[in-house]
Amino acid sequence: LNFQPTTFITSAPDIRQLPADDGVEIAFAGRSNAGKSSALNTLTRQRNLARTSKTPGRTQLINVFEVLPGKRLIDLPGYGYAKVPLAVKEKWQRALSEYLEKRDSLRGLVILMDIRHPYRDVDQELLHWATASDIPVLVLLTKADKLKPGARKTTLLQAREAALVFGGDVTVEMFSSLTKIGLPQVEAKLSEWLMT
């Protein structure tokens, strides 16, 4: 599947206002600053499809992109930003778990984690909710260029080991928007999800 023709469709203020639940979609989630926007831009070969965040935690919108008619990429707001009030965090987490449980068109969830500190609290919670709802997960260890090849490999193997705890269909790959390491693996997995 060629991701280059991907276009921006809309921004939704919350999950209830996403486009109709038909066709197929893949959601992208991660802590603020994990490299989610960069990954979306790299995947689609576009410099500015997803806005890379200079100020994490600003407006929490869900951005909807379309690769082809009826095949969407959903860019969920980054989480883990300390200044967001607890009540807002809790409301968002409830909405997110409901989305993972109820969205029929959702074929897979990509969780992006900085390779230098993977599996933080909310990452683990998301993984747990997704596998509990039988949603396949692709964990991307981002900014892989920040580690030397040896450390990268070790971290990848450890992260794959850690993923087993969650059961379910969880794939772990490393990724770098800078060097494009892992890009073919990401494209293969997303194509598989969108085309079946």
Residues that bind ligand GDP (CB under 6 A): 30, 32-38, 52-53, 56, 78, 142-143, 145-146, 176-178
Smallest distance from ligand GDP to CB 178, Å: 4
* 187 in Cβ contact with 43 (< 8 Å): yes
Residue nearer to ligand GDP on the CB measure, 25 or 114: 114
Smallest distance from ligand GDP to CB 110, Å: 11
Residue nearer to ligand GDP on the CB measure, 46 or 52: 52
Residue nearer to ligand GDP on the CB measure, 24 or 79: 79
Smallest distance from ligand GDP to CB 16, Å: 23
Smallest distance from ligand GDP to CB 78, Å: 5
